[in-house]
Structure 1
Amino acid sequence: MSQEFNLFINGKYRPSSSGETLSIYNPNDDSLVTDKVQVASEKDIDDAVAAAKEAFPKWRETAGHKRAAIMNKFADLLEQNADKLAKLESSAMGQPITVARAMIKGPAALWRYYAGYAGKVSGQSFPPDEDGTYKIVQYEPLGVCAGICAWNGTHVLAAWKMAPAMAAGNTFILKTSEKSPLAAAAYGDLLNEAGFPPGVINVVTGAGAVGGMLSSHMDIAKIAFTGSAPAGRAVMQAAAKSNMKIVSLELGGKSPALIFDDAELDNAVEHTSLNFLRNSGQICFASSRVLVQEGIADKYIEAVKKSMEGAADKMGDPADEKTAYGPLADKKQFDHVMGFLQGAREEGVQVLVGGDRKGDKGTFVMPTVFLNPDLKSKVYTDEIFGPVISVRTFKDEEEAIRLANDTTYGLGSTLYTSDIARALRIAGKLEAGTVGINSAFNTSPQTPFGGFKQSGIGRESGPEGLKGYVQPKTIHINMNVKPKLAPITSSST
């Protein structure tokens, strides 16, 4: 596997036809990683779509066990090259090397999970009954699909999109984020080694303009997007204005964590501080609004302050195996988070710990806890996407649920209690697509992931993820028509 900066189209690496490139800076120390990453032009996107369109009929007809073997081989290659890919990911967006490695090995399981579905997408049939019509429902691939990945978990997001598409018999164009393109750019060699035919999977790079080209392309049947709510709206609008392609969106979150008086306190603190900080808080479903019942609020606040201060000591060079928490993805994301911190100071929001940058190099932000921000404060209502939580108190279940659901988002949620009946009762009332009980939520290949409200539409992962890449076709057969017999002739007697 070589270091690649080119586009991967129709089984080959090639430079952008426009010659446009983008630069990647290491967020640990602001050093230039490369200025050679190719940006796809409209011609490049047209070529990628044409390649995928040409490859579709044969890939669709490829036997399921053969598609599964290729997918499993790709999963093996991801694991075998995890160290190399992790270094590329870490240098581009600052993930600690241990986190980056885990976020490559995890997707290998997703590829194997969906490989098990290849050739097993079954249909339905219904007897004629009184109407004399035999009814068949079969599920067919969509055709050329495309995926746009956010930068915070490239390999997970790519697997959520590509693996079910491959299992169902579609072809694909993957666009990586301009913040973290290096590791996915290396996929080309692995895809060829795994045995994917040319054109079945294509990988392109660029910023929002390239995503717009995919979203508006007339020959793409589906676009799957992970990113911010404003960008998601733009994708949906472009899809509607073009060929009304199918759209799935996994957008932002401002997820609540509800901690009740009977919760195991140390566990709740660990998951709302140390586990929240994995990937420097740059996880869409991370619980950044912590709601604590009044009876344990003082103990929780003291404990979470100590935990966050300890976490700050574990921040450092993401290339170091001992580093637990790294910098933010780039200067733009750093400025975005620092803008929230400055705004909170101007509003007079109480800072328990943190609230500023760490060091004078890179894009490090101290783990930060705000106490009792106003319900309309931006640090409480808006997605920050950094190592920042807000803590408020509540009196009872009713208030906790009301506060938890008082948001335009609905992606994730967690709750902490020793009463399982309460846990299930509240889980059913939370307006969110995912709920973690006594733990920060973790994704699984077996279960769907996605949000309510403005956190998106559609689901990825699990059987629901596969359904997003097939379309039902209904066939009715009139069983009452008698076959027409051929006339008897002398030559046939």
Structure 2
Amino acid sequence: MSIQTDLFINGEYVPSSSGETLSIYNPNDDSLVTDKVQAASEKDIDNAVAAAKAAFPKWRNTAGQKRAAIMLRFADLLEKNAERLGQLESLAMGQPMSLAPLFVKSTVANWRYYAGLAGKVAGESYPPDEDGTYKIVQYEPLGVCAGICAWNGTHVLAGWKMAPAMATGNTFILKSSEKSPLGLAAYGELIKEAGFPPGVINIVAGAGKVGALLAGHMQISKIAFTGSAAVGRQVMSSAAKSNLKHVSLELGGKSPAMIFDDADLDNAVEHSSVSFLRNSGQICFAASRVLVQEGIAPKFIEAIKTAFEKASDKMGDPSVKDTLFGPLADKKQFDRVMGFLSDGKNEGVQYLTGGARKGEKGTFVQPTIILNPDVKSKVYTDEIFGPVISVKTFKTEEEALALANDTTYGLGSTIYTSDIARALRVAGKIEAGTVGINSAFNTSPQTPFGGFKQSGVGRESGKEALKEYLQPKTIHINMGLKPKI
């Protein structure tokens, strides 16, 4: 399979002006995939910004139905190439081929959703009352926008950022993660084939310094970032210190799952094991703090232990279609997760399963359960971002809510109960931007996604995301003047 490694700027593939490159290793066996991924320089970023700026006036004035037609063609091309794009993602960060093409197809729905909204952003008007002023509010695109993707769901995150920007008439520069740049590098040919004019979408790669160049660029009007809270703060700081550009941040999570005595046990186990372990636990809103009411706790703990042990048997080479769970994204991520587990052991944390590397090669961590850790231990408070859950018990609804909300994060949450009144009551009190009831939370193109507290600022997906790429303009007309004859 051929691998594209160049930057895509102004409608063409180009090498880095600095000659700097990134190396990508297959996390399944540590083999080198390529050492030729072009890392953008400051000059390359300036060129991308200049191309996007030049393309903006014509793109913003392109009729909504024409923008929609191009977006729909792009969605069709993503769907057609889902297998190939999935393979590139699997090679770079170990996402199993049983899952990777589905992530691509998921973003297809996102592009089609926003294509349906292109040209449909309405303004507002208010009649003159006693002040004699006719009032108009119109919503305009921001201009050149940029996005920085995390590595755990490249195609979904790219669609969340680019599709609403395209629908509202902005132009875009997208930076892939240095861990998983191959899938987005392949977008260039699809962007051209779909009919996007040169400069409307530009794709760059590189490490953190490239993201810093985007966040601090004086001619970029908006930046959308997905990643850690620490880097999110840096992005926001750079945006403030440069031109006060608009910022949206989708950051980390340490999401709770609350399982009440009257919950369907098999359903709760399924979503706390197989659903959680999908993508090797590398999902920002996955419920890694499992809170179980005392009456059902013994049965749940025994069942979840069995489920995690079975999941370990389904871990392996991500290129094999029947593999459900693959390795972590790279050696750095593997060392981070294993560091958490090692620290937990030193603190006397009790492990029911996992906690050890599987095999001699690759970055595999076995599905791991931590039982009743101290609420101040790092394995309980910090985002591990791996196949690791903690299980704690609670007595009452009030205690469950107190435990669930005792975190600096507020991205995801899940409630398991057969009492719909309790489910809605708890959902209203949980401090999180998303809530799943009797199911692990799943994103939808129709609904906004984002977090409370230190899990981020702004929203992606749904109609809310359109607002992130628009700015209101208020126009007042004095209706009291008489026309000159």
Q: TM-score, with normalisation over the residues of structure 2? A: 1.00
List structure 1 segments (4+ residues) > 3 angstroms apart after TM superposition: none
Deviation at 1:359, TM superposition (A): 1.0
Distance of 1:320 and 1:467 partners within structure 2: 41
Q: Which residue of 1 aligns with 2:350?
A: 350
What amino acid maps onto 1:376 in structure 2?
K
The separation in 2 between residues aligned to 1:154 and 1:482, in whole angstroms, is 59
* 8 Å CA contact 1:410, 1:431 repeated in 2: yes
Q: What is the Cα deviation at residue 3 of structure 1?
A: 2.6
CA distance in 2, matches of 1:2, 1:148: 25
For residues 233-262 of structure 1, give each alpha carbon's deviation from its aligned partner in whole angstroms, at most 9, with x where no partner exists.
Answer: 000000000000000000000000000000
Contact 1:88–1:183 (8 Å) recurs in 2: yes
What are the within-5 Å matches in structure 2 for residues 60-459 of structure 1?
60-459=60-459
Question: How far apart, CA to CA, are the structure 1 residues paired with 2:263 and 2:385?
Answer: 26
Q: What CA distance in whole angstroms lies between the structure 2 residues aligned with 1:224 and 1:481?
A: 45
Per-residue Cα deviation, 1:61-102 (whole angstroms, up to 9, x for no partner)? 000000000000000000000111111000000000121100
Matched residue type, 2:140: E
User: SS at the partner of 1:105?
Assistant: helix
Letter in 1 for 2:322: K
Shift of 1:2: 5.6
Q: Secondary structure at the match of 1:298?
A: helix
Query: Aligned residue for 2:461?
Result: 461
Alignment partners' CA distance in 2, 1:478 and 1:30: 70
Q: State the SS of the aligned residue for 2:360.
A: coil
Q: Which runs of 5+ in 1 are unaligned?
A: 486-493
Matched pairs, number: 485
The C-alpha deviation readout for 1:349-388, integer Å capped at 9, x for no partner, is 0111111111111000000000000000000000000000
CA distance in 2, matches of 1:177, 1:355: 27
1:2/1:186 contact within 8 Å kept: no
- Does the CA-based 8 Å contact 1:139-1:470 persist in structure 2? yes
One-letter code aligned to 2:398 = E
Preserved CA contact (<8 Å) 1:354 1:368: yes
8 Å contact from structure 1 (residues 281, 386) kept in 2 = yes
The one-letter code sitting in structure 2 at the alignment partner of 1:377 is S
Q: Deviations over 1:88-137 (max 9, x none)?
A: 00000000012110000010000000001111111000000111100000
Query: How many angstroms apart in 1 are the aligned matches of 2:245 and 2:310?
Result: 48
Match of 1:488 in 2: none
Amino acid paired to 2:303:
A
Q: Match of 1:4?
A: 4
Give the match's secondary structure for 1:274. helix
Would you say the 8 A contact 1:413–1:434 is kept in 2? Answer: yes
Query: What secondary structure sits across from 2:275 in the alignment?
Result: coil
Q: Which amino acid aligns with 1:69?
A: A
**Following the alignment from structure 2 to structure 1, what is the Cα–Cα distance between the partners of residues 95 and 159?**
18
The answer for the alignment partner of 1:489 in structure 2 is none
User: For residue 172 of structure 1, what is the amino acid of its counterpart?
Assistant: F
C-alpha separation in 2, matches of 1:329 and 1:142: 34
1:482 shift after superposition:
1.1
TM (normalized to structure 1)?
Answer: 0.98
3-state SS of paired residue (1:248): strand
The secondary structure found in structure 2 opposite 1:119 is coil
| Counterpart Cα distance in 2 of 1:253 and 1:3 | 33
Tell me, in whole angstroms, the C-alpha distance in 1 between the residues paired with 2:305 and 2:349. Answer: 16
Contact 1:369–1:389 under 8 Å retained in 2: yes
In structure 2, the residue corresponding to 1:285 is in which secondary structure? coil
For the 8 Å contact 1:414–1:439, the answer to whether it is kept is yes
What secondary structure is seen at the aligned counterpart in 1 of 2:274?
coil
**Root mean square deviation of aligned Cα:** 0.7
Q: Report the counterpart of residue 33 of structure 2 in structure 1.
A: 33
Unaligned runs of 5+ in 2: none
The CA distance in 1 between the partners of 2:2 and 2:216, in whole Å, is: 32
Amino acid aligned to 1:305: K
Distance 1:97 1:465 in 2: 29
8 Å contact 1:434–1:449 — kept in the other structure? yes
Distance in 1, matches of 2:417 and 2:137, equals: 45
Q: Of the two, which has the highest radius of gyration?
A: 1
